[in-house]
Structure 1
Amino acid sequence: MNDYFRKYKNLMMLTVFIGATIIALIPLFGVLGYVVKNGLSALNLQFFVNLPKAMGLPGGGMANAIAGTLIMVLIASALGIPIGILAAIYLTEYDRHSWLSTAVRFATDVLTGIPSIIVGIVIYTAVVLKMGNFSALAGGLSLAVIMIPLIIRSTEEMLKLVSHSIREAGFALGISKAKTILKIVLPTAAKGIITGAMLAVARVAGETAPLLFTALGNQYWSRSLNEPTASLPVQIFQYATSPYKEWHQLAWAGSLVLILMVITLNLVARYAFRSKSI
């Protein structure tokens, strides 16, 4: 009787878990399916190679917005990834319990939860107004500010998973602390660090609010990093809120491309380094 009750209870809870999982997946696949349905028909070669047409005219593409998104994500990665990793190394390897490390962790947690539009307003006030114009540099900087706390947290957790005995083995061999970190600790945690960095990149690739205040947008190719630059999220927002059917179709195509970019980054982050483990 007890065995039957345990089996029945186990089956009931398993059914509840499976049901909750299916319910959680329904919105995800619903959104993906709806975007694919509406965006696939408008996706063609012209979309990737042409500039946007004039307001209300059919055709055109988002070549400049795709390039602008890639440029600003690269700027954000060049700034955010090194700073985030180095800060995490300091918190984990050099200063775990002082008031400074506690303050940095608290600030990191707060920054992680701050709405991205606030970051955009701060960068607009501190950078755009000082420079006198919107630019890809300001857009990349705003994305980097969003990335840094995410990378700090993920890198710190990965470094904590490295066994302390590995560090002690390096010290016992007479290796300096810096070399132990560079040659032993970081390679051991490389998989998790790279995964966290790529997930942070995927997180900021779809940000719209901070780019409205920093990069603004551009209907043409940007000739330098110090001028307004188009981006996929902002272009999608502008097209989706317009009254023109042709722009609505392009917005769906841009949404599909952006989702595919984010999915690709997430898949690479999860599977490219799966053979290496901590």
Structure 2
Amino acid sequence: MSDSSQALSSIKTAKDYNLQRQPLEYRAMKSIFLTGMTWMMAILASVPLFSVIYMLVIKGGTRINWETLTSLPPAGFEMGGGFGNAIIGTLVMVIIASAISVPFGTLAAVYLGVLDPNSRTATLSRFLAKTLTGFPSILAGVFVYSILVIKFGYSALAGGISLAVLMLPTVVLAAEEAMRQVPQRMKDAAYGMGCTRSQVIWKVVLPTGMPGILTGVMLAVAGAAGESAPLLFTALFSNYYISEVMEPTASLSILIYNFSAMPFDNQIELAWTASLVLVLIVLIFNVLARLLGR
């Protein structure tokens, strides 16, 4: 028998080995234990979330109807009413904030992720953006109050600008990361075909990174929709529908804050219902962010 045949005969086939995972094996037990602990922590972390949603549905779900979603807030001793103006005001200020933060944030991300990612300016800007993600929201309201509200008064525009300050770092960091994930070979291929840098950005980088950019935008919008502290200093509140952006404007978060402290059952019920509507709005934006991220 030759050496090669002896070597082949000495090699065991897969059937000669027991490839089944043994339940009492150390690695199997460790995997089962860590998997169980992960599920347990996930369930414990979700208990407060589902308890809050359950409480909002029980206490606020009974008042959700077309009248509540379209009517104006009631006076102290009045029954009924709604918060249609607060829904419109919230959407208007979020739109203003998005119109400011998304273009500027995307342009900043283009510079940080494509044009000059390793420069000192980019490093400093990236550091400031990460620092602003932990910026107290009430300070954004104080900042806009000092430069805009003192001169022009409370308005939806001031509220939108304060929300834009909070949205900007999230948009910048998410968009930069999305652009960094674009494969370098795609950009090199575009350059090899004779494309300019601006054409590579507009035709390759932005379209390819658009799902990640939109995910960051949706997450920033969801966070801004639930803010209340900056709006206290900028938009204040109004019992009427918004007619122009340079006037005080209602918002869901401030309505909840005002109504929850009133000694009237009708206003407290409306506060619960407004809380449920606000949670649903934020949930919708978060779900859209996850779907776009895929």
1:125 paired with 2:136, answer no
Where in structure 2 are the equivalents of 1:35-74 lying within 5 Å?
35-74=56-95
Q: Kindly provide the CA deviation profile for residues 34-77 of structure 1, in whole angstroms up to 9, marking residues without a partner as x.
A: 11111101222211121011123211110111110010011011
For residues 49 and 254 of structure 2, what CA distance do their matches in structure 1 show?
22
Q: Post-superposition shift, 1:168?
A: 0.8
For residues 214 and 62 of structure 1, what CA distance do their matches in structure 2 show?
19
Q: Kindly provide the CA deviation profile for residues 73-107 of structure 1, in whole angstroms up to 9, marking residues without a partner as x.
A: 11011111111111000111111122211111111
Q: Post-superposition shift, 1:3?
A: 5.9
1:241 paired residue number: 261
1:4 paired residue number: 25
Deviates more, 1:207-216 or 1:22-31: 22-31
Which amino acid in 1 is paired with 2:162? S
Which amino acid in 2 is paired with 1:60? G
Q: Post-superposition shift, 1:25?
A: 0.9
Deviates more, 1:152-161 or 1:264-273: 264-273
Work out whether residues 23 and 29 of structure 2, in 8 Å CA contact, stay in contact via their aligned partners in 1.
no
1:96 paired with 2:150, answer no
Counterpart of 2:25 in 1: which secondary structure?
Answer: helix
2:131 to 104, 110, 125: 110
Relative to structure 1, the CA distance from residue 150 to residue 272 in structure 2 (aligned partners, 3 Å threshold; closer, same or farther) is: closer
Percent identity, aligned pairs only?
42
Question: TM-score of the superposition, structure 2-length normalised?
Answer: 0.90
Work out whether residues 212 and 292 of structure 2, in 8 Å CA contact, stay in contact via their aligned partners in 1.
no
1:34 paired residue number: 55
Which amino acid in 1 is paired with 2:134? G
2:177 to 157, 165, 182: 157
Pair member with larger Rg: 2
2:187 paired residue number: 167
**Runs ≥4 in structure 1, deviation > 6 angstroms?**
none
1:82 paired with 2:103, answer yes
2:289 paired residue number: 269
Counterpart of 1:217 in 2: which secondary structure?
Answer: coil
Q: Kindly provide the CA deviation profile for residues 256-278 of structure 1, in whole angstroms up to 9, marking residues without a partner as x.
A: 1111111111112222563xxxx
Relative to structure 1, the CA distance from residue 238 to residue 167 in structure 2 (aligned partners, 3 Å threshold; closer, same or farther) is: same
1:24 paired residue number: 45
Could you tell me which runs of 5 or more consecutive residues in structure 2 were left unpaired when the two chains were aligned.
1-21
For residues 24 and 189 of structure 2, what CA distance do their matches in structure 1 show?
50
Q: Kindly provide the CA deviation profile for residues 135-182 of structure 1, in whole angstroms up to 9, marking residues without a partner as x.
A: 000000000111110000001111111111111111111100000110
Question: TM-score of the superposition, structure 1-length normalised?
Answer: 0.95
